[in-house]
Amino acid sequence: MPSSPAPSSGALLWFREDLRLADNPALDSAVKSGRPVTAIYVLDEQTEGLRAMGGAARWWLAQSLRALASDCAAMGLPFSVRRGRSDHLVRDALRETGAEAVFWNRRYAAREIEIDAALKEELQGDRFSVQSSNCRLLHEPWEVKSKWGDPFKVFSPYWRAAQARGEPRAPIPRPSKGQIEPGRAIDGESLDSLGLEPTRPDWAGGLRDAWTPGEAGAKARLKAFVEDDLRGYASARDRPDLPSTSRMSPHLRFGEVSPHQLWHAVERAAAEGPATARDVEKFRTELGWREFSHHLLFQFPELASRNFQKRFDDFPWEKPKPSHLMAWRKGLTGFPIVDAGMRQLWRTGWMHNRVRMICASFLIKDLMIDWREGEAWFWDTLVDADPANNAASWQWVAGSGADAAPYFRVFNPSLQGVRFDPDGGYVRAFVPELENMPARYIHAPWEAPPESLSESGVELGKTYPLPIVDHGAARDRALKAFDRMKAES
Ligand code: FAD
């Protein structure tokens, strides 16, 4: 039952990047306000300056909204989806429901912050009650500061300071059906009419096979991870050939699960099962990198479009050769681990973190293509494409970011393959042309003797590409360009 006497007017809950009912502070506050609640989601493709979601993320959004609609219906919470300018549609929804209070959880990309701040001010000026909450991050980006009150640019001190703030709060339970007083239902658009899913051609088959978007899907994935794969996470998380990581990233991206839920779930699982304190700590540190990316995005809103380190503004990127860019996107570079990664991305909308680093390094350093080209491709193809993590990670690999990998550290794709995919199982899963190559040559088929190639049914340049660049020469070229930039800056 509501915890305070019900005011007569309703509450509007505006879902955004928090497509869940459990551990949702905005929903919790709306319910506790004692007002009848109506919920909306707005697909905003009209407000100027918002970055349009990529294709894979749009597919995910459609599934997630479908799941949310059905969860809301089961709770008796009226929910509708509308398309248009979010500020106008929130006002329309307030008028149509007669609600005098609106609740939402915060977002952190620059344009989204501007929209929310302006709307909040306007609505408060018109005597609406507006309450925004944090549900996406363990620590608000502005809360973690150095001793001198400055934001951090280096991960380790950032994470130490974040942790010194104390244990993140416990997750808020999902309200029970009886606790929600349904508000006035309003019209919405059908999910099918939003055009979020591909039709001609329908390229989403691989995504459907790989994922179950929605809060229940996130819950099931988390359960499987903590029961089966958390144990050994600290040592195996760099192995793309093993089910070594949680795959929670798209669920986190759409807010189907919160970092608080993950933080506490791994601790509970370790207390009850075989995972070690090291596994828990390592997993939490990865959540820490996610927090740090948001901290960077908040202090540098142009993270996806400008170099964090200004000296990279003069870096002599090559004009991308269309054949190189295409080979990279399609997984036809002739470097098996790169090709496996790029094909995993295309097929499933996701790529293992180690392989993301290898593929990004290949584009930036072997092909000398501006990191923004890669960021944009990942933005379009990843189901977890995220304004903070994607941009921060690309800049990290490029060396232009905060606390970035030094530019002179150039991944050798074959050696990375040998080290992190020792039996070649990952390559075989995504590059069927190399299925029969012996492990010894699978990461450098150009080194295989002719008998081995013919026994494996591989004809380089025909059934599988020859390398599109010479890695040694490409590395030298990249390092020279970097030295020139350093000398000139
Ligand atoms: P787990 O290892 O299980 O980690 C748990 C969670 O921690 C992840 O879901 C993620 O939210 C967070 N996390 C893990 N590693 C990182 C990291 N290096 N940086 C920030 N957060 C991390 N992640 C995205 O969520 N969206 C992106 O758009 C994205 N783009 C990337 C682009 C490049 C070039 C690189 C190198 C990395 C990118 N990452 C991105 C970070 C990372 O690769 C993914 O978060 C991770 O692979 C997700 O898999 P998981 O959920 O199994 O990770």
Whose Cα sits closest to atom 18 in ligand 1?
Answer: 289
- Of 260, 286, 344, 390, the one to substitute when testing ligand 1's pocket (max ligand atoms within 8 A of C-beta) is 286
Catalytic residue among 328, 394, 396, 433: 394
Contact predicate 403/424, CB 8 Å: no
What is the rounded distance in angstroms from the CA atom of residue 179 to the CA atom of residue 198?
38
- Quick check: 22 and 170 in contact, CB under 8 A? no
385 CA from centroid of ligand 1 (Å): 9
Which residues in 291-321 are b (16+ Cβ under 10 Å) and which e? bbbbbbbbbbbebbebbbbeebeebebeebe
Residues 6+ apart with CB under 8 A from 244: 229, 232, 233, 236, 237, 238
Alpha-carbon distance 141 to 292, whole Å? 8
Is residue 1 very low, low, confident or very high in pLDDT (cuts 50, 70, 90)? very low
> By mean pLDDT, which of 37-51, 154-168, 333-347, 395-409 is the weakest?
395-409
Q: Is the pLDDT of residue 240 over 60?
A: yes
The three-state secondary structure class of 417 is helix
pLDDT tens sequence across 272-317: 888 999 999 999 999 999 999 999 999 999 999 999 999 999 999 9
Model ipTM? Answer: 0.99
pLDDT > 90 in the chain, percent: 93
Model-level pTM greater than 0.95? yes
The active-site residue out of 203, 267, 281, 289 is: 289
371 given a catalytic annotation: yes
- Atom of ligand 1 at shortest range from CA of 396: 36
Q: Is the dihedral of CA 142, 147, 151, 152 positive or negative?
A: negative
The angle subtended at Cα 68 by Cα 298 and Cα 36, nearest 5°, is: 90
148 is catalytic: no
Q: How far is the CA of 356 from the centre of ligand 1 (A)?
A: 9
Q: Which atom of ligand 1 is nearest to the CA of 360?
A: 34
The binding-site residues of ligand 1, defined as CB within 6 angstroms of any ligand atom, are: 237, 245-249, 252-253, 286-287, 289-290, 293, 353, 356-357, 360, 378, 382, 384-386, 389-390, 393-394, 397
Any bridge partners for residue 195, and if so which? none
Q: Please give the Cα distance from 230 to 295 (Å, whole number).
A: 27
Cα–chain center distance at 223: 20
Helical (H) or strand (E) element with 72: helix 55-75
Cα–Cα distance measured from residue 413 to residue 419, given in angstroms and rounded to the nearest whole number = 10
Q: Which amino acid is at 37?
A: V
- Give the residue-averaged pLDDT of 42-50: 97
Average pLDDT, the chain: 96
Q: How far is CA 429 from CA 178, 240, 241, 339, in A?
A: 48, 11, 9, 11
| 29 Cβ contact partners less than 8 Å away, ≥ 6 residues apart | 103, 131, 133
160-193 tens-digit pLDDT: 999 999 999 999 999 999 999 999 999 999 999 9
Residue 14: φ, ψ to 5°: -105, 105
- Is 289 in the active site? yes
